[in-house]
Amino acid sequence: MIVDCAVYRHGHRGEGPEDLSDALNEARAAGGFVWIGLHEPSEKEFDLVTQEFGLHPLAVEDALKAHQRPKLEVYDDSLFMVLKPVVYEPESDAVSTGEVMIFVGDSFVVTVRHGGGSPLAAVRRRLEEEPEMLEKGPTSVLYGIADATVDHYLEVATELQTDLEELEAEVFSPDRGGSRNTASRIYTFKRQVLEFRRATVPLALPLARLAGTGALGGGVLFVDDKARPFFRDVSDHLTRVNESVEGLDRLVSDILSAHLAQMSVRQNDDMRKISAWAAMAAIPTMIAGIYGMNFDHMPELRWVWSYPAVILLMAALEVLLYRLFKRRGWL
């Protein structure tokens, strides 16, 4: 359940006592904080953490059930934030999301991870290499996780942009634009962009609150006011990501429309060709049908050259129709 637990004093790591209450008391006495990392804990396993740190029951419920939107909630004894890290899988060109819940108090940080794609291990290592950042307290952990998550969004957006360019080249390729699975690929890509948007767009408001910008500007409990410029930087990066995601969504919709238009044009071309060949086949069929009727008094029935004359007439009409349709682009 507990992936990592440490007490940080003056920006440096120290292994905390096994008892969570002792670790918290030790951190408070030293002017530091405790950082506990958990991975998909059960309700029973999380009860001990809840009791020791006084976490709000609504936030605990969200952390256990997961499947939350990115958000920021401030309670009396702690701050609760939800992030959705995104993972790009190059083997399948697919996007998947995980969840990270962060509880921040005056002298503790509790992180709960669900699914894959979590940057927590890398964030912890990076922060431990920067004691001057960790010395700022639990706010530094919140900033580090948010910054790593949003920076990875930029990388995923770049990968998706590359995939979109390849898809666009396939759609407008004369050899492959009409393949049967192209529409399916476009729809699958649009679903991936939608999954990406669900992770990035709702995060804008929580970061704006942390940065002290917008209508909800102002201080946030358990977050150092000196950290606002750092969160503004993260918010700026997220704005770039959201603009990129909006652009991807519009482009993939345009590509789908262009693909459907191409398919419609091809179908119209096919129908013109079929109609032209049917018209060419109708001429000899009509003449043969007329002379196949059993009447005594029909033109040129007794003429010796009537058969080759009719054949030549049908051939001449076929050539005339072929040249006419070819000139109009029907064949």
Are 153 and 300 found together in one domain?
Answer: no
Token pair of 224 as six digits = 């150092």
301: pLDDT strictly greater than 80: no
Verify that 160 and 300 share a domain, yes or no.
Answer: no
Give the residue-averaged pLDDT of 173-197. Answer: 78
Instruction: Please check the confidence at residue 177 and state whether its pLDDT lies above 60.
Output: no
Average pLDDT, the chain: 84
**Which is more confident, 321 or 37?**
37
Both 291 and 237 in one domain: the answer is no
The secondary structure of the chain, three-state, reads CEEEEEEEECCEEEECCCCHHHHHHHHHHCCCEEEEEEECCCHHHHHHHHHHHCCCHHHHHHHHHCCCCCEEEECCCCEEEEECCEEEECCCCEEEECEEEEEECCCEEEEEEECCCCCHHHHHHHHHCCHHHHCCCHHHHHHHHHHHHHHHHHHHHHHHHHHHHHHHHHHCCCCCCCCCCHHHHHHHHHHHHHHHHHHHHHHHHHHHHHHCCCCCCCCCCCCCHHHHHHHHHHHHHHHHHHHHHHHHHHHHHHHHHHHHHHHHHHHHHHHHHHHHHHHHHHHHHHHHHHHCCCCCCCCCCCCCCHHHHHHHHHHHHHHHHHHHHHHCCCC
pLDDT at 230 over 90: yes
Residue 215 pLDDT more than 60?
A: no
Give residue 17's pLDDT. Answer: 65
pLDDT surpassing 80 at residue 289: no
The reply to whether 182 and 305 lie within a common domain is no
pLDDT beyond 90 at 310: no
Q: Which pLDDT belongs to residue 199?
A: 92
Q: Which of 211, 229, 263 is the last residue of a domain?
A: 263
Contact 114, 85 (CB under 8 A): no
Whether residue 248 is found in the same domain as residue 314: no
- Asked if 95 contacts 196 with a C-beta cutoff of 8 angstroms, the reply is yes
Claim to verify: residue 89 and residue 140 sit in the same structural domain: yes
Which band of pLDDT confidence, cut at 50, 70 and 90, is reported for residue 83?
very high
Looking up residue 317, the CATH number of its domain turns out to be 1.20.58.340
More confident residue, 255 or 181: 255
> Are residues 275 and 156 part of one domain?
no
Q: Which of 241, 263, 285 is the last residue of a domain?
A: 263
Supply the pLDDT for residue 119: 73
> CATH number of the domain that 54 lies in?
3.30.460.20
Task: Answer with the one of 263, 295, 319 that is the final residue of a domain.
Answer: 263
329 pLDDT exceeds 90? no
Percent above pLDDT 90 for the chain: 31
Q: What average pLDDT does range 148-157 have in this prediction?
A: 93
Answer with the residue of higher pLDDT: 42 or 181. 42
Residues 131 and 246 in one domain: yes
Closest by CA to 186, choosing from 251, 97, 247, is 251
Residue 109's nearest CA partner among 101, 118, 99 is 101
CB contact set of 227 (below 8 Å; sequence gap of 6+): 136, 139, 140, 143, 210
The boundaries of the domain holding residue 112 are: 2-263
The phi and psi torsions of 101 (rounded to 5 degrees) equal: -105, 135
Question: Looking at residue 235, what is its pLDDT?
Answer: 93
Cβ neighbours around 82 below 10 Å, total = 22
Do 40 and 57 lie in a common domain?
yes
Instruction: Check whether residue 99 and residue 160 sit in a common domain.
Output: yes
Q: Are residues 286 and 218 in the same domain?
A: no
State pLDDT tens for residues 85-131. 998 887 777 888 899 999 999 899 999 999 876 678 889 999 999 98
Looking at residues 227-241, what average pLDDT do you find?
93
> Same structural domain for residues 163 and 307?
no
How many domains, in total, are found in the chain? 2
Report the amino acid identity of residue 287. Answer: I
